[in-house]
Structure formats: C-alpha cells, structure tokens
Amino acid sequence: MWETKSIISFEDAKAKAKRRLPRMIFDFIEGSAGREVAAEKNLQIFNDFYLRSKVLAPVEDPKLNADFLNYSFDLPFGIAPMGMCNLAWPGADRNLAEAAKTFKIPHCVSTAASSSLEELKKWGGDQTWFQLYVNRSAKEAWTMVDRADAAGYTTLILTVDVPVVSRRVRDLRNGFVVPFKIGLKQFIDFALHPNWSLSTIMKGIPEPKNFRHGSQNSFDRNASRAGANWEFLGELRKRWKGNLIVKGVMDPEDAKRIQNAGVNAIWVSNHGGRQLDGSPPALLALPEIRDSVGPNLPLIFDSGVRSGEDIVKALALGANFVMLGRPIMLAIAASSEKGLNDYISMLKEEIKVVMAQLGLKDLSKISGDVLYDDIYTKM
Ligand SMILES: Cc1cc2nc3c(=O)[nH]c(=O)nc-3n(C[C@H](O)[C@H](O)[C@H](O)COP(=O)(O)O)c2cc1C
C-alpha cells in the first residue's frame, strides 16, 4: 500500500532541510518571534484535542474535496503565502504553483515572492491567490492590487498581522537581510552547504521580484507594513471586486468588525508565531472566532498544522479550510519538487486514514462531534 517516499513525516522534512540548507536559510524558514514560545505552543496545542473513533461504519473511498468560496478544491488544505521561497531551493516558486495545480489546491503568492506575481499566476492558473502587504505608503499597495487584477487574480488576501516586522532572534544572530550581505560568518555557512550554495548561485540569488519597478526596487524587509488599517480595508473592499480575505486575525471582536467590512473570508492565524511571542496558540482562537462570526462566514486556519490529523482537528474546531507554511517550504528544501509532492500526498493519505478511524466518508461531515468534549480536553 505504501510506496517509498522521500518524506514520510514533518520531522523527516525538517531534519533533511536542516542538513541541506545553510543555517541562515533554515533559521529564516523555521525561526519565530522572540523566544519562539508561541511557535512551539502552536504545535503542542494540537495534542490537547482528542479525536473520537467510531467503528463499523462504511468508510471506503472517502471524499476529500472541499468547496471553498467559489472554488472546488480536491483537498481541504493549501499553501500559505511565504516570501522568498526560492531560498528553500531554486525553482521552489514554480514547483509550488505547479504542485497546487496538480493537486488542485490553492497556492497563495506573497507580496515578497521570489518570482513575479504575473509569472506565478501563469504557472499556477486559477487557484493561485495573491497576498498583499501594505508596505510603506498605500500608493504602492494600490499599484500591486492593480497588477494582481491585470494578471487575472480573483482572490486577494490582505495580511494584517505585520504592522511592524517582529524581532526574529535567529535572523538577527545570523545577519539575515534581504538582499544578502555576505560576511565571513555567512561565507562559512554557505561553504559548508555547497549543494545549496552552488545550485542557488547558478540560478541567481533570489530576491523579492514584485519590487522591480522604480523605487519599489529596494524592498526593505523590515519596513513598516502599518498601511493596512481599517480605512485601507474599507477602500480595498470597495475597489477589489473579487474574493477578499483578511489574514492574521486572532481576536473575535476584530473578526466581527472585519466581517462587517464585507470580506469573503477571514484567515485565523498568528503568523506561525513569527510576530507576537505572547500570542496564544492560534488553534485556541479558532472556536472563539467561529462563535463571533456565526456559522456562515468562511474561515481559513493556519499556524502549527503539520499533519492530516491536525487538518481534521482544525476543521472540527470551526475552520472551513486549512493552510500550511513551514512544512511546505521545508519539504521543498529537503527534497525539492519530490519532497513537496510527497508531503502533499502524505497529508492526503493521513486525512484518509483519520477519516476512516472517525467512521466518516465525507469531509463535510467533520464537526465538533469528532472531538471529545472539554472534560477530556486540557484547555
Ligand atoms: C519563511 C516564511 C515566510 C512567510 N512570509 C509570509 C508572507 O510573505 N506573507 C504572509 O502573509 N505570511 C507569511 N508567512 C506566514 C505564513 O503565511 C503562515 O501564516 C505561517 O507560516 C503558518 O504557520 P506554520 O508555518 O506553522 O504553518 C511566512 C511564513 C514563513 C515560514
């Protein structure tokens, strides 16, 4: 039943990526804000929810497809926006876009992508979404919105949890800046990982490709992104006719107000713990936000999802769709395109296995009933 895979678990992907990547690059992907407590808790919290197995049910050929917004996806999860993916391995951006097309899942293209939003749309097709940071002035953001529209994007994600880029200790320690500054420390790091270094140099050092026009050329990773405010959201809703999703929401009152601004979906996330180290695990915010916005507003969830079981738990706690960040980038870093495909296939297999244990054939039947109630749940 099981064929040989390059990656059979998250831990596999992480260990292999760690070996292949220079430390500075691995830390950029894996690192988080402050003492990295929030990132750790994002993972641990999944262990505190228990799934109820049901026996003797017909479970063959389960349906894993998910209708979300105006899309019919084959799987209930997708690829979260991540800047500078080509740092994981040359060609990663294209691999992501093409894998999303093959598996029929969404691929979210970051403002800080290492390929242009136009190229990524061409490679990925319909289910490619664009994520917007409102860096510096709103004027630059409007240019980006117009470009996304002209390139044919119909779903826009406004990320709102990075008013200021957080202090990421690993990046500070490693001297990670964009564009790279290569001193002795970085040179040694790269020299110790020749496979990555030679492959990357041959293809050209990745840089944020959406910033090639005029003054935007000088992308500053640490620039304020506080241009995303309530006023901007109101204006964006008026101007963007497609699906509008707000990403990075953790507070039920914020969620209600964002819902009232007329968005199509809210993305519950603490940015994988990369922004506020004192944040509770994002999974705990999910049921609160579901209560606040009611049953009908589509909710996306990310932060700490590593396995098929995690995906099922997030769906049970109120998400309609689930996204993954680090695991996807680490899978590519570990084994390039094969690693990515193996990781997505692994998640698919895991969801199937979990559904069989739960006695379910249809993903849409997942609800809070599959979880043990609070008496068994260490909240
Ligand atoms: C290397 C890296 C780069 C990221 N870049 C962005 C970005 O450009 N825009 C954005 O909205 N989120 C960005 N994120 C956050 C992810 O979209 C997502 O919220 C987070 O990774 C989810 O947590 P997880 O890594 O535990 O799955 C980034 C995350 C990582 C790991």
Mind listing the pLDDT tens digit for each residue in 63-72? 999 999 999 9
- pLDDT for res 179: 84
- pLDDT for res 364: 92
For range 311-322, the mean pLDDT: 98
Residue reference for tokens 């320690």: 173
Mean pLDDT (the chain) is: 94
Give yes or no: 271 in active site: yes
| Ligand 1 proximity of 131 Cβ (cutoff 6 Å) | yes
- pLDDT for res 245: 98
Q: Average the pLDDT over each of 77-86, 203-212, 312-321 and give the range with the smallest value.
A: 203-212
Atom of ligand 1 nearest to the CA of 282: 23
Q: 300, 266 in Cβ contact below 8 A? A: yes
DSSP β-bridge partners for residue 107? 79, 128
- Ligand 1 geometric centre to CA of 82 (Å): 5
Confidence grade of residue 127 (pLDDT, cut at 50, 70, 90) = very high
Atom of ligand 1 nearest to the CA of 159: 11
Mind listing the pLDDT tens digit for each residue in 276-297? 999 999 999 999 999 999 999 9
- pLDDT for res 136: 66
- Ligand 1 geometric centre to CA of 376 (Å): 31
CATH H-level, domain 10-376: superfamily? Aldolase class I (3.20.20.70)
Confidence grade of residue 78 (pLDDT, cut at 50, 70, 90) = very high
Confidence grade of residue 214 (pLDDT, cut at 50, 70, 90) = very low
Buried/exposed code over 124-147 (b: 16+ C-beta within 10 A; e: otherwise): beebbbbbbbbbbebebbbebbeb
| Pairing verdict, β 243-249 and 155-159 | parallel
**Can you tell me the distance from the alpha carbon of 14 to that of 283, in angstroms, rounded to the nearest whole number?**
22
Atom of ligand 1 nearest to the CA of 108: 17
Helix (H) or strand (E) holding 322: strand 321-324
The rounded Cα 210 to chain-centroid distance in angstroms is 19
**Can you tell me the distance from the alpha carbon of 162 to that of 280, in angstroms, rounded to the nearest whole number?**
17
Query: Does 212 have pLDDT greater than 80?
Result: no
- pLDDT for res 378: 47
Q: What percent of the chain has pLDDT over 90?
A: 88
For range 315-341, the mean pLDDT: 98
- Ligand 1 geometric centre to CA of 349 (Å): 24
DSSP letters for 301-321: E-SS--SHHHHHHHHHTT-SE
- pLDDT for res 180: 85
- Comparison of pLDDT for 293 and 136, the residue scoring more: 293
**Can you tell me the distance from the alpha carbon of 268 to that of 30, in angstroms, rounded to the nearest whole number?**
20
Write the residue with the smallest CA distance to atom 4 of ligand 1.
82
For range 254-283, the mean pLDDT: 98
Confidence grade of residue 197 (pLDDT, cut at 50, 70, 90) = very high
Mind listing the pLDDT tens digit for each residue in 3-32? 678 899 999 999 999 999 999 999 999 999
| Ligand 1 proximity of 324 Cβ (cutoff 6 Å) | yes
Mind listing the pLDDT tens digit for each residue in 159-190? 999 999 999 999 999 999 988 889 999 999 99
| Ligand 1 proximity of 339 Cβ (cutoff 6 Å) | no
Residue reference for tokens 């199509």: 264
- Ligand 1 geometric centre to CA of 248 (Å): 10
- pLDDT for res 221: 73
Confidence grade of residue 135 (pLDDT, cut at 50, 70, 90) = confident
| Ligand 1 proximity of 281 Cβ (cutoff 6 Å) | no
Q: For the chain, how are helix, strand and coil distributed in percent, rounded to 5?
A: 50, 10, 40
- Ranges of each domain in the chain: 10-376
- pLDDT for res 3: 60
| Ligand 1 proximity of 82 Cβ (cutoff 6 Å) | yes
Query: Does 34 have pLDDT greater than 50?
Result: yes
Q: Which residues contact 123 (CB under 8 A, 6 or more apart)?
A: 93, 94, 97, 98, 101
Residue type, 290: R
- Comparison of pLDDT for 374 and 297, the residue scoring more: 297
Query: Does 216 have pLDDT greater than 60?
Result: no
Q: 329, 85 in Cβ contact below 8 A? A: yes
Write the residue with the smallest CA distance to atom 28 of ligand 1.
82
- Within 13 Å, how many C-alpha atoms sit on residue 49's CB side? 22
- Ligand 1 geometric centre to CA of 80 (Å): 6
| Ligand 1 proximity of 14 Cβ (cutoff 6 Å) | no
- Ligand 1 geometric centre to CA of 302 (Å): 9
Query: Does 375 have pLDDT greater than 80?
Result: no
Catalytic residue among 107, 193, 213, 271: 271
Pocket test for ligand 1, best of 268, 274, 279, 286 (most atoms within 8 A of CB): 274
| Ligand 1 proximity of 208 Cβ (cutoff 6 Å) | no
- pLDDT for res 374: 66
DSSP β-bridge partners for residue 370? none
- pLDDT for res 215: 47
Q: 305, 327 in Cβ contact below 8 A? A: yes
- Ligand 1 geometric centre to CA of 44 (Å): 18
pTM of the model: 0.96
